[in-house]
Structure 1
Amino acid sequence: MATAVSALGRVREIELPEGVIRYHDTGSGPPIVFVHGIIANADVWRGVVTRLREGYRCITPDWPLGAHTQPMRPGTDFTLFGLADLVQRTLTALDLQAPALVGNDTGGAVCQAVAARHPEKIGSLVLTPCDAFDNFLPLPIRHLQLFGRTPAGLKVLAETLRLRPVQRLPIAFGLLTRRPIPAEMMASYTGPLRENPGTRQDFARLVRAISTTFTREAAEGLRTFPHPALIAWARQNFFPLAHGERLAGLIPDARLRVIEDSGPFVTEDQPDQTAALIDEFLQAATPR
């Protein structure tokens, strides 16, 4: 597999009112914008982008969700709908026409909020296993809402994530994949939280803003989403398959597909299956 850098393409930056968003850009064709989850960054999409960049323009930002290196400005709204507005402003700044929006983990909840509040900015929606309804955050990692409320608590948490045995615990990354995440990727995901005080400050603000009020509101907004959607879920309990089925039932033009032998991070466990489903869906949704 290509390295994350070569797979994701050249690095660029855009300036928004909230601060600088760093993103990778590769390939040509219909645009796809990817949204990762907390304590992850664009690298989580490396395997999928490698397989899609021949036919699509793949844009993978490092969103300010705990593994970013460009801290946001004071006053940034880290609620779910505040993050949705940040995605909307990014799409506007990049002048993208009807892009596909693809989300995983917390990023999938953000995508739901974008689809509910800014449906005119996107052409289609892909949700892989993600927070939804009352599962925000999932029970095994709700300790983040305690340790993550202060930068000091986050510093302690981030230092423990240096250790490979800790990374595979259920309260860390252990339930997110069937197979261990490569060490260099774990360093990419956890390093900024450990090394950058601004990243910890942002993440503490994000954790304090988490509420199921927002995920419930976003899900209700999906009832009127006017574009095609793919729900590509995995059989696991962190983000239950029943939630994927429920999301597919809410969106008028949605189809559900199951990714086999995978944890919630389908991009780590099954990048081939994930990319193939996205390609099949987009070929049908946006004929060339």
Structure 2
Amino acid sequence: MPEITPSAGTVEYEDTGGGGPVVVLLHGLVHDASVWRKAVAELRTDHRLLTPTLPCGSHRRPMTRPPTPDLVNELVAEFLKRLDLRDVTPVESDCGRARTVAARHPERLARLVLISCEAFDDYPPGLPGKMISVACRVSGGIPPMVRTLGLEPLRRLPVGLGALTKRPVPDEIVDRRLRPLRTDPAIRRDFRHHGTHVRRTELLEAAQGLRHFDRPALVVRATEDRMMPREHGRRLAELLPRGRLVEIGDTRTLIAEDRPERLASLLRWFVAEG
């Protein structure tokens, strides 16, 4: 897997290469590039797709600087700069950080896609988000949280991974995402630092910055999302000067897992027309 070493530590990523439009796919907490595997399979023939694994709990290389949400935002901007990516379409799922990059560092972006992302004051979202927040703040709280998330009989419960998808994620993918937190104390330290340095005002600040993002923007929401309030999709689309809202049915938060073909078709259309 290729990697770059920006100022905060090594970031691994996957790159399909090719000469098509550049799309950077950004994941959320306790996920890695695998969340995009189905969409990548659909889009790779006519797009260049880059999927970095951000230091959000499923990364395999500890950071040299303790990560915070603000630092992850800057890492994404530095990732684009280090690889000299231009006319980029960043796609954010969950808390993938694209909206802050669009607000602070829009110079390399052609357009923006926000998929089922937390917004405004909904931070951290839902029962899983609040469970993670508590686990990070309680001494020794992360190992039991990871064990709970990893128990196969509990994986479909709405207090954990089951809140994110309608369809089961393969066990090998779940195990891959949880393994760094299970096995590496340095990754647990990174995750705890990230979780205890959340600024409640961060997304409100990003929302204000998005009012000045004058390029095409697409907000995609899942009609059966259990994590993100449905009305936040409309609010995000309305504050973006060129924002559009599309809702997708038969899916929860992780549309890339539940409805990858529909999502890929929508992204292909937006990159070509947006």
Aligned to 2:231: 242
Q: Secondary structure at the match of 1:34?
A: strand
Distance 2:248 2:137 in 1: 34
Alignment match, 1:40 = 31
Query: Could you tell me which of 228, 243, 246 is aligned with 1:257?
Result: 246
Q: Secondary structure at the match of 2:218?
A: strand
CA distance in 2, matches of 1:239, 1:257: 15
1:283 corresponds to: 272
- Could you tell me the percent identity over the aligned residues? 38
Pairing 1:114-263 to 2, within 5 Å after superposition: 114-141=101-128, 142-149=130-137, 152-235=140-223, 236-263=225-252
Q: TM-score, normalised by structure 1?
A: 0.91
Match of 2:58 in 1: 67
* 1:150 Cα deviation from its structure 2 partner: 5.7
Post-superposition Cα deviations, 1:132-183, rounded to whole Å, max 9, x if no partner, equal 1111111312021111236731112112222112222222111100111111
Q: List alignment gaps of at least 5 residues for structure 2.
A: none
Aligned to 2:21: 30
Alpha-carbon RMSD across the aligned residues, in angstroms, is 1.3
- CA separation in 2, counterparts of 1:210 and 1:261? 31
In 2: Cα distance, 1:244 partner to 1:27 partner = 32
Structure 1: unaligned runs, 5 residues or longer: 1-10
- The residue type equivalent to 2:64 in the other structure is R
The answer (yes or no) to whether the contact 1:151–1:201 under 8 Å persists in 2 is no
Q: How high is the TM-score relative to the length of structure 2?
A: 0.95
Which one-letter code corresponds to 1:63 in the other structure? L
2:5 maps to what in 1? 15
CA distance change for structure 1 residues 93 and 229 in 2, over 3 Å: closer, same or farther? same
CA distance in 2, matches of 1:270, 1:58: 18
Deviation at 1:77, TM superposition (A): 4.6
The superposition leaves residues 243-270 of structure 1 with CA deviations (integer Å, 9 ceiling, x where unpaired) of 1111000100111111110000001000
Deviations along 1:195-249, whole A, 9 cap, x unmatched? 1111111110110012320011001110000211111111123112211111000
Contact 2:24–2:91 (CA<8 Å) still a contact in 1?
yes
For the Cα contact (< 8 Å) 1:27–1:55, is it kept in 2?
no
5 Å-filtered alignment, 1:29-108, equals 29-74=20-65, 76-79=66-69, 81-107=70-96
| Inter-partner Cα distance in structure 2 for 1:274 and 1:47 | 10
C-alpha deviation, 1:31, in angstroms: 0.8
AA in 2 matched with 1:129:
S
CA displacement at 1:27 relative to structure 2: 4.1
Instruction: Measure the CA separation in 1 of the matches of 2:162 and 2:187.
Output: 23
Please tell me the residue identity of whatever aligns with 1:200: R
Deviations 1:58-94 (A, max 9, x none): 00011000101011013x4513x32211100010001
Task: Name the SS of the counterpart of 1:64 in structure 2.
Answer: coil
SS at match of 2:15: strand
Counterpart of 2:193, as a letter, is R
